[in-house]
Structure 1
């Protein structure tokens, strides 16, 4: 059916744009001779994860055990949990997935490593682990260089059930950059600090096979650093208004859109859409990004700025004149595709404004 037959708000996925974005990542990885392991927090879809793997991805990245459960039970067989786990309950859930998939765990401190070691020693199993390195985000991770070496030595010498195979980092602070030159600087350091830390470990007899970097704004920069073996972009499967603001994508690359209806208007002062914070989210950039204007980009209507969101209302200012009125429909490119995808049960698949099917958002709400 035509998209005009959909009720609003509905979430639309342009399949051709998504496939082009996936192909772009795969082509970059092939050109560099490296692997790619997309973060599925963006789409939370088993079908999209399968398409990424079929297009060349070596596996996927998740943030939470619940996401890993959905993906492993959906047939994905190589999963990095990019989040430090220590509680027994979560480790028990990880162990239940090992017959289904290779699960890779994150280590970012000696104390946490001991919790993971004690659990897997008790159940008599080994598990692959990677050390998380902080390349500047100041979130999880150990500092590069000597601190990384000391943690690698601790794991190698004191944790016989943990098979240390890689180092990885995420330069999420690139989202706070105000110029592309800053993104380039962050990306180069992201790659260089991982390579230098890996080489330091190897000088001390600890082999580091995987040197992995992430972040959609920086993966094509950090991924070119000699010695990097893997990139982990997540948002690049869709792109969004934040990526456009950062200069790493254009609106024509953005595969995810909301279709919305004007439900109220006040002369030439404002319009109200039926897309509030429960469909667009209040996200304007988690790490200080200031490049976005409002709470979503209204396609083909630069005079409309979504200035405020309440739960079910998107209140837009009219800057100049507009042709939009009551019951008119628009498409809105979200600021942050990852948070918006997590608000919907399903996404409508679109080609040339025709709805060709739906996919469930399988891992929606999987935050444990």
Structure 2
């Protein structure tokens, strides 16, 4: 076969989708998967067919592309600042898209309110539960902000959302679970404080693949937004979320050179595998992917070359598989996914970074 390429095990993909949907169903909560992990309309269709309650995207470009593919219930989980962004929101609403937007500032909320959309715009307020990225801290300032948003005439406050991405920096599965429990409990407590102010909170949304099975089981959480779970990757394996056998996405690459007994060169470099050693800046992984032989390590990447070091390395011409460190940026580097069934699916919204 021609390499490098991304291969998706169709059976494992379906199993991962159904397992997460089953969890949501058992908990009596909604699953609104984040499609930034796969960016692929065909996978999003499988998720919705399994029972997902709409989709989550990171950027307006993803929303625009997925709307064109027939997806009409979309949460944009990103703060929208700037006149150009607001006009794109207007265009999406004009197209009949049911948008829910994330806010965490008066500037962002005011810009959306000033659209004066006749039916109002649904919004979720972002809460910081430990990642220290976007979001307001739980407590009185959050409640005051929500109260102010609730009073705006053209916005509909629907609830609160968070992302415990700091779990990717955990040193053990036990620490992941502690972060997850804190994520869920902080959100439920924040919702209670808002309700005490007389403001309804319909949505209490959490989202991160490592934490979702714990945070999503906290009573009072109403929605989960994992993304990576359709594929899983070496980061999820390192954290103890899954075993390698659950990973549905692999990079297939060819050994193109054997310049030394302990060194093999493959045709998958940084432009195929990306350079992440984890997610959210974490660096818990020592190599650039998980290989089938524990004695092999993918130690270096240049743009088009990968360097594997170890003993009993494969001969030139051998084709090997790599579980990538972080599936999400890897998929964004590809034009298409090739399935184990032979089908090919275009990566519908790759490169939609604005």
Normalised to the residue count of structure 1, the TM-score between the two structures is: 0.94
Partner residue in 2 for 1:84: 79
| Correspondence 1:14 to 2:4 | no
Asked if residue 153 in structure 1 is aligned to residue 143 in structure 2, the reply is no
Judge conservation of contact 2:264–2:313 (CA < 8 Å) in 1: no
Task: Specify which of 178, 185, 197 is matched with residue 190 of structure 2.
Answer: 197
Query: SS at the partner of 1:139?
Result: coil
**Residue 265 (structure 1) aligned with residue 258 (structure 2):** yes
Gap change, CA 1:329 and 1:346, over 3 Å in 2:
same
1:232-243 superposed matches below 5 A? 232-243=225-236
* Aligned match of 1:134: 128
| Mapping for residues 131-280 of structure 1, pairs under 5 Å | 131-157=125-151, 159-280=152-273
- Asked if 1:29 corresponds to 2:24, the answer is yes
| Partner SS, residue 140 of structure 1 | coil
SS of 2:272's partner is coil
Retained in 1: the 8 A contact 2:235–2:279? no
Unaligned stretches of 5+ residues in structure 1: 1-5
Q: CA RMSD in A?
A: 1.2
Alpha-carbon contact 1:134-1:142 (below 8 Å) kept? yes
Q: Partners in 2 of 1:357 and 1:54 — Cα distance?
A: 19
**Secondary structure of the equivalent of 1:150?**
helix
In the alignment, is the contact (CA less than 8 A) between 1:86 and 1:116 conserved in 2?
no
Q: Are the equivalent residues in 1 in contact too, given 2:32–2:54 (CA < 8 A)?
A: yes
Shift of 1:291: 3.5
Partner of 2:312: 322
**How far is the alpha carbon of 1:292 from its aligned partner?**
2.1
Cα distance in 2 for residues equivalent to 1:151 and 1:19 = 41
Q: 2:49 aligns with which of 54, 62, 83?
A: 54
For residues 3 and 133 of structure 2, the distance between their equivalents in structure 1, rounded to whole angstroms, comes to 37
> What whole-Å deviation, never above 9, does each CA across 1:58-94 have from its counterpart, x for those lacking one?
0111000000001111111111100000212112112
- When structure 1 is superposed on structure 2, of 163-172 and 189-198 the one drifting more is 189-198
Q: In the alignment, is the contact (CA less than 8 A) between 2:262 and 2:313 conserved in 1?
A: no
Other-structure match for 1:3: none
Q: Residue in 2 aligned with 1:105?
A: 101
More displaced, 140-149 or 204-213? 140-149
Q: Distance in 1 between matches of 2:245 and 2:165?
A: 24
SS of the residue corresponding to residue 217 of structure 2 reads coil
1:358 is aligned to 2:335: no
Equivalent position of 2:112 in the other structure = 116
Alignment partner, residue 40 of structure 1? 35
1:256 offset after TM fit, Å? 0.4
Q: How far off is 1:289 after superposition?
A: 3.2
Count of residues in Structure 1 that have an aligned counterpart in Structure 2: 353
Q: Is the 8 A contact 1:73 1:100 kept in 2?
A: no
Does 2:340 correspond to 1:344? Answer: no
Offset, 1:145: 2.1
User: Could you tell me how far 1:97 is from its partner in structure 2?
Assistant: 1.6
Q: How far off is 1:288 after superposition?
A: 4.5
Q: After TM superposition, give the deviation of residue 111 of structure 1 in Å.
A: 2.4
Secondary structure of 2:264's match? strand
SS at match of 1:23: helix
Cα separation, 2, equivalents of 1:145 and 1:238:
36
Q: CA deviation at 1:101?
A: 2.0
- Which sits farther off after the overlay, 163-172 or 194-203? 194-203
- State the alpha-carbon separation in 2 of the partners of residues 281 and 81 from structure 1: 25
- 2-structure distance, mates of 1:219, 1:328: 38
CA distance in 2, matches of 1:73, 1:56: 21
Structure 1 residue 124, shift from structure 2 partner = 4.2
**Counterpart position of 1:298:** 291
Pair 128,233 (structure 1): closer, same or farther in 2 beyond 3 Å? same
Secondary structure of the 2:193 match is helix
Instruction: Give 1:367's aligned residue.
Output: 353
